[in-house]
């Protein structure tokens, strides 16, 4: 599976910018196109990428200050209704059952708020959730695998753990 660069949802406004930024070929499959979005406008982007991709991923995990100041990325962990609305709108506009709509998040310092976000995204039709097991303030701290486990146990969809797994040995330790 391949992930694209992270695109701003407003890339639909400029055909020239979109055509120069978003390119693909037959070998790029399955391709998941990542969007940084703070509005349901990402649902309009699906027309531009759906013919070339296997799914769309909403990046709600970027901890960079500029992204959070603009209302993108990890700040969205505090807006579960908005995230679920975006997922629902994208899901409702795609008539291709195999097309995935996923979300990548960071955890909130209050795990119950993270679980709430994930449950709302699941109810809205998200295909899977990737969880980076740190808060946006934690750059070099160890990943909170216990939080990822709590999230996984709270959902009935696939949860992908992200962060600090650098070898097959570490994968085996994590799975235990």
Q: Is the dihedral of CA 11, 106, 71, 137 positive or negative?
A: negative
Q: Which of 45, 50, 62, 118 is catalytic?
A: 62
**All structural domains of the chain with their residue ranges:** 2-175
CATH number for the segment(s) 2-175? 3.20.20.70
Give the CA diameter of the chain: 49
Beta bridge partners of 7: 35
Given a contact cutoff of 8 angstroms between Cβ atoms, the answer to whether 129 and 121 are in contact is: yes
Task: Kindly give the confidence (pLDDT) of every residue in the chain, 176 residues in length, as a single tens digit, with 9 standing for 90 and above.
Answer: 666 566 665 566 666 766 666 666 677 778 888 877 777 666 666 667 777 888 889 989 888 888 888 888 889 999 999 999 999 988 888 888 888 999 999 999 999 999 999 999 999 999 999 999 999 989 889 999 999 999 999 999 999 998 888 888 887 877 77
* 60 has catalytic annotation: no
> Left, alpha or beta for 125 (phi > 0: left; psi -120 to 50: alpha)?
left
């Amino acid at each position: 599976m391949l992930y694209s660069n992270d695109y701003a949802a407003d890339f639909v406004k400029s055909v020239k910018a979109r055509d120069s930024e978003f390119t693909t070929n037959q070998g790029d499959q399955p391709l998941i196109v990542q969007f940084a979005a703070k509005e349901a406008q990402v649902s309009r982007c699906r027309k531009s990428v759906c013919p070339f991709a296997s799914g769309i991923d909403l990046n709600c995990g970027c901890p960079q200050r500029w992204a959070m100041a603009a209302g993108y990325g990890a700040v969205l962990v505090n807006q579960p209704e908005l995230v679920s609305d975006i997922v629902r709108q994208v899901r409702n506009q795609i008539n291709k059952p195999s097309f995935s709509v996923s979300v990548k998040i960071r955890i909130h310092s209050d795990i119950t708020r993270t679980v709430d976000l994930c449950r709302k995204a699941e109810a809205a039709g998200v295909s899977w959730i990737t969880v980076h097991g740190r808060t946006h303030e934690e750059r070099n701290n160890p990943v909170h695998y216990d939080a990822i486990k709590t999230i996984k146990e709270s959902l009935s969809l696939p949860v992908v753990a992200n962060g600090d797994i650098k070898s097959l040995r570490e994968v085996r330790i994590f799975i235990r």
